[in-house]
Chain A
Amino acid sequence: MTNHSTSASGQQMTGTIAILLLCRFLRLICSTMPFSTNYLLGTLAAAAFQTLLLLPLMLKPVFQLRSPIWRWGYALFTLVAASHLLSRIYALLQNLQAAYPMASVILCIAAAAYGLTLSKRATGRAAILLLGILAAGLLMQILSALPHANLLLLYTPNTAYQDGDAFAEGFLQGAELALLPLCCLPYADAVQKRRSLMGKWLIGQLTLTLPVILLGILHNSRLLHWKGNPFFLLLARTQMFQAVHSDGFWQLLLMACSVVCVTFFLQIIWSPLPESHPTPILSLLTGALLFGVTILFIMGNPPMIYQILVILLFGFVIPLIFFRSDKRSAERNST
């Protein structure tokens, strides 16, 4: 009898890379910076920076994720990243004049809290499926955009204020996720698979982002005034068929990907270790904390009472998370 059991950890690491790629793509389409050559250069610089940063870390893992200090920092960073992403999604939904953006954000967090109670394998699998759909959609978009792309627009001079901003936007979008692949380290064979993981991350990231930015430049480099989202402006101007608009497909995909990404962030806040599961109450509380911090980002300058409430919630939930996770790790170590 044949025994071809699949490597579960290998699949989970691939799933993690898929989630990170979805996060990366979401940040790209949520950005309001018009596509420009400096933006492209910032993106390329970010890819190079991540490769240089991550490769030595993968060769010799120096961070002990079980240590409380690293866990706290990692969870805080992930909480901020998740809230920032949600606030960007909210802004995008408002920009698109979508239905009830705040309700969408709440339901997104609710769906993510539900996903948090499921196994981490489910998150990875869902991400791989969505990534496949995204890749197919992107391919169609590229094919429809290529015929009227104008290579000359690569030379469009940007206005003075934009040069630094565009480069920084392109750089920071990717760079802030540089630490997240560390969540692959808890798996025993991560170091052996480091080259494959790094390759998947790098190639996937460039494959998803570069064509969009490039086509955005080749079509809309001169449309700097546009108040709408640059990605959706590109879609509006590069429709394959006039009868069928692809905006709807991308809005659908945007929300589905945001659920998966937020679930992933919540799982990391809880624990990057593969075998931890929060109880439903704690997952709801974590979701509430995430919502609270997201509102801080959305409002920008919220009233003092609101800030105090969020700090209280933060002070209540975070110790619970670490108390539960440390207790679990202690139980694991004792057995």
Chain B
Amino acid sequence: MTTTEHLAFLSEDPIRPNLEENLAHIRALEEGSSDLMVNPITVGGISCVLLNCEGMIATSIITNLIFWPLAAIKEQFSDGPALLAYLQQYYLLSTDRIRIENYADLFRTLNSGFAVLIVQGASFAYAFGVQGYDRRSVSEPSDAVNLYGAKDAFTETIRSNMSLLRRRMKSPLYVQKLIVCGSVSRTDLCLCYLRDRVPQDLIDRIQHTLEHAPIETVMASGYLRPYLEQKSSRLFHGTGISERPDAVCAKMLEGRVAVLIDNTPFALIIPQLFCEPFQTIDDYNGKPAYATLIRLLKYTAFLLSILLPAFYLAIAVWHPYLLDQTLLSLLAESEQSAPFSLLAETLGVLLMYEIIREAGLRLPKAVGGAVSIVGGLIIGDAAVSSGFISTPLLTVAALAVTAGFVIPELHQQITLLRLAFVITGAVLGLGGIGLLGAAVIYNLCATEVFGFPITAPAVPFSLRAMRDVITRIGFRRLSQGNFTVEEVRQHDKS
């Protein structure tokens, strides 16, 4: 039986009324997991068992909220359902109470840190939220660093993340909807949206896609992205990720849907337009003119990062007349003693940077600094001094790589495109760069997520949204007549 079939079977396997039979069945399904804790208790004359996973619950909470109140019940009950009805009506026990009717839900709640009470004679059970597993506290975001924005970031616990968003969106129109994904992991996902800005059909489509994604486990947000984006051949993502609750709220105000994933500190945002990685929260904390300048700088840095080495190569090899005489003399002189071709040098330098960057990322912090010294100073300086690599090329490559760090979210695409453009520039010159550029633009223009083209609001053009793309107009005007992404959604198929 496959995992999916097994799960489907468990979903239709109801809780047995006989307690012993229940326990035997549970132990058989668990196949001797050592962390299953079985606590028999008699409440009101009825035999009950409280199940929980070791290490997942808070002992003090379960003692105070469950054990003591249950032990204090003096009334006698005729059967299990009567006891459960009494508990439901007169005892809170926990604010998070879920009625369990089949074994699939039983195991899901059990493994989520709930305590499950099964009662003799009842064909259903109750799960109580008494989670007490170790969790990371809310800290500063690791990647999306801002100067003036909030300093809290998502954690691995979905409930904490939901509270971080709820604190910022107190409107009753804000909806947080829990669903489950992953045939093995049964990971909790939370769809977050403002119901007056997102059409129901979009929510239904996203929910259907996530619930029926043929995936066993969701270990990271990247696991779900291919199912949401649907076309793997697209270069740029149509969905975004963010570690910042303030950024996610800002996106939701524009009619986007956020997906929180349990055990992942990154939320998915649907859709993400191409211009969004160039926007940060700090843009809205400063003056519009400065924000506009920084945005222009980012777009320039993006283009420089992708195209500068390719232009250098294409012009030096195929179009030297485009260079100034002085610059050309400098270039020719520096290349005079280099033993390799310009293409080989460029690829070598770029790959060397990637190796150093990857090594610095993976090494422990104590050793990481040494990599920078060895890689940057020794290798770079030695390579130039020995004549392997020319100084202008190293400068160009360094500038391109540094410019790429300005937009970390597009780092993968920048790296791939930079290499591709270098090769086409070396082989076909500026015409080759134009050809590849056209293919990239095509790929970009064809990228749509749930009908949202990521090239919006440039194409299709929306004047209201363009106020916040390259330029950033004043916040007073920006907050009037809010733009929602629904305006650019394509409803016709082609």
A residues apposed to B, CB below 8 Å: 1-6, 8-9, 11-12, 93, 98-100, 103-104, 107-108, 111, 114-115, 118-123, 125-126, 128-130, 132, 242-243, 245, 247-248, 251-260, 263, 274-275
B493 proximal to A (CB < 8 A): yes
Residue from the list B429, B442, B491 in contact with A118, Cβ < 8 A: B442
Q: In the complex, A274 Cα to B315 Cα: how many Å? A: 40
B369 proximal to A (CB < 8 A): no
Contacts of A119 in B (CB 8 A): 446, 494
For B382-405 the 0/1 string (1 means CB < 8 A from A) is 000000000000000000000000
- Is A100 touching B441 in the complex (CB atoms < 8 A)? no
Known contacts A8-B492, A99-B429; decide if A129 and B455 are in contact (CB<8 Å): yes
Interface centre among B196, B434, B491 (most CB of A within 10 A): B434
- Is B435 touching A108 in the complex (CB atoms < 8 A)? yes
- Is B432 touching A121 in the complex (CB atoms < 8 A)? no
Contacts of A132 in B (CB 8 A): 458
- Is B445 touching A252 in the complex (CB atoms < 8 A)? no
B143 proximal to A (CB < 8 A): no
| Min distance, Cβ B483 to any Cβ of chain A, angstroms | 9
B residues apposed to A, CB below 8 Å: 195-199, 311, 314-315, 318-319, 321-322, 324, 427-435, 437-439, 441-443, 445-446, 453, 455, 458-462, 484, 486-494
| Min distance, Cβ B317 to any Cβ of chain A, angstroms | 8
- Is B490 touching A122 in the complex (CB atoms < 8 A)? no
- Is B458 touching A255 in the complex (CB atoms < 8 A)? no
Contacts of B427 in A (CB 8 A): 99-100, 103
Contacts of A100 in B (CB 8 A): 427-428
Contacts of B432 in A (CB 8 A): 99, 104, 107, 255
Known contacts A108-B435, A122-B442; decide if A252 and B430 are in contact (CB<8 Å): yes
- Is A254 touching B434 in the complex (CB atoms < 8 A)? yes
Residue from the list B199, B459, B490 in contact with A128, Cβ < 8 A: B459
Known contacts A114-B439, A253-B434; decide if A129 and B429 are in contact (CB<8 Å): no
Known contacts A120-B494, A248-B319, A256-B437; decide if A114 and B197 are in contact (CB<8 Å): no
- Is B441 touching A114 in the complex (CB atoms < 8 A)? no
Contacts of B430 in A (CB 8 A): 98, 248, 251-252, 255
Contacts of B487 in A (CB 8 A): 2, 4-6
Q: In the complex, A98 Cα to B453 Cα: how many Å? A: 35
- Is B435 touching A107 in the complex (CB atoms < 8 A)? yes
| Min distance, Cβ B82 to any Cβ of chain A, angstroms | 46
Nearest B residue to A275, CB-CB: B494
Q: In the complex, A248 Cα to B197 Cα: how many Å? A: 46
- Is B435 touching A111 in the complex (CB atoms < 8 A)? yes
Instruction: Using A248-B430, A251-B429, A252-B437 as known contacts, list a sample of 7 further A-B pairs with CB atoms less than 8 Å apart, ordered by residue number in A.
Output: A4-B484, A4-B486, A115-B442, A128-B461, A255-B430, A255-B435, A275-B493
| Min distance, Cβ B254 to any Cβ of chain A, angstroms | 12
- Is B441 touching A248 in the complex (CB atoms < 8 A)? no
Known contacts A104-B432, A122-B446; decide if A129 and B494 are in contact (CB<8 Å): no
- Is B446 touching A118 in the complex (CB atoms < 8 A)? yes
Contacts of A108 in B (CB 8 A): 435
Known contacts A99-B427, A99-B428; decide if A129 and B484 are in contact (CB<8 Å): no
| Min distance, Cβ A154 to any Cβ of chain B, angstroms | 30
Contacts of B429 in A (CB 8 A): 98-99, 251
- Is B199 touching A1 in the complex (CB atoms < 8 A)? yes
- Is B199 touching A126 in the complex (CB atoms < 8 A)? no
Residue from the list B198, B319, B446, B491 in contact with A5, Cβ < 8 A: B491
* Contacts A/B (CB < 8 Å), 18 sampled: A1-B199, A2-B487, A3-B486, A5-B491, A9-B492, A103-B427, A108-B435, A114-B439, A121-B446, A126-B445, A129-B441, A129-B458, A243-B324, A245-B322, A248-B319, A251-B430, A255-B430, A275-B494
Contacts of B437 in A (CB 8 A): 252, 255-256
Contacts of B484 in A (CB 8 A): 2, 4
- Is A126 touching B442 in the complex (CB atoms < 8 A)? yes
Residue from the list A6, A111, A248 in contact with B490, Cβ < 8 A: A6
Nearest A residue to B199, CB-CB: A1
- Is A126 touching B494 in the complex (CB atoms < 8 A)? no
Q: In the complex, A243 Cα to B326 Cα: how many Å? A: 10
- Is B490 touching A121 in the complex (CB atoms < 8 A)? yes
Residue from the list A125, A130, A251 in contact with B455, Cβ < 8 A: A125
- Is A114 touching B442 in the complex (CB atoms < 8 A)? yes
- Is B319 touching A104 in the complex (CB atoms < 8 A)? no
Q: In the complex, A253 Cα to B431 Cα: how many Å? A: 8
- Is A129 touching B438 in the complex (CB atoms < 8 A)? no
- Is A99 touching B318 in the complex (CB atoms < 8 A)? yes
Nearest A residue to B326, CB-CB: A243
Residue from the list B199, B311, B321, B431 in contact with A245, Cβ < 8 A: B321
Q: In the complex, A9 Cα to B491 Cα: how many Å? A: 10
Q: In the complex, A120 Cα to B242 Cα: how many Å? A: 32
- Is A256 touching B491 in the complex (CB atoms < 8 A)? no
Q: In the complex, A114 Cα to B453 Cα: how many Å? A: 19
Contacts of A130 in B (CB 8 A): 438, 441
Q: In the complex, A214 Cα to B227 Cα: how many Å? A: 53
Q: In the complex, A118 Cα to B170 Cα: how many Å? A: 42
Contacts of B311 in A (CB 8 A): 248
- Is A259 touching B435 in the complex (CB atoms < 8 A)? yes
Closest 7 CB pairs of A and B: A255-B434, A259-B438, A122-B446, A125-B445, A4-B487, A8-B492, A256-B438
Q: In the complex, A123 Cα to B484 Cα: how many Å? A: 25
Q: In the complex, A91 Cα to B343 Cα: how many Å? A: 27
Residue from the list A103, A107, A243, A248 in contact with B315, Cβ < 8 A: A248
Q: In the complex, A256 Cα to B459 Cα: how many Å? A: 17
Q: In the complex, A98 Cα to B322 Cα: how many Å? A: 13
- Is A2 touching B486 in the complex (CB atoms < 8 A)? yes
Q: In the complex, A1 Cα to B202 Cα: how many Å? A: 13
Known contacts A2-B486, A256-B434; decide if A107 and B428 are in contact (CB<8 Å): yes
- Is B438 touching A255 in the complex (CB atoms < 8 A)? yes
Interface centre among B319, B438, B462, B484 (most CB of A within 10 A): B438
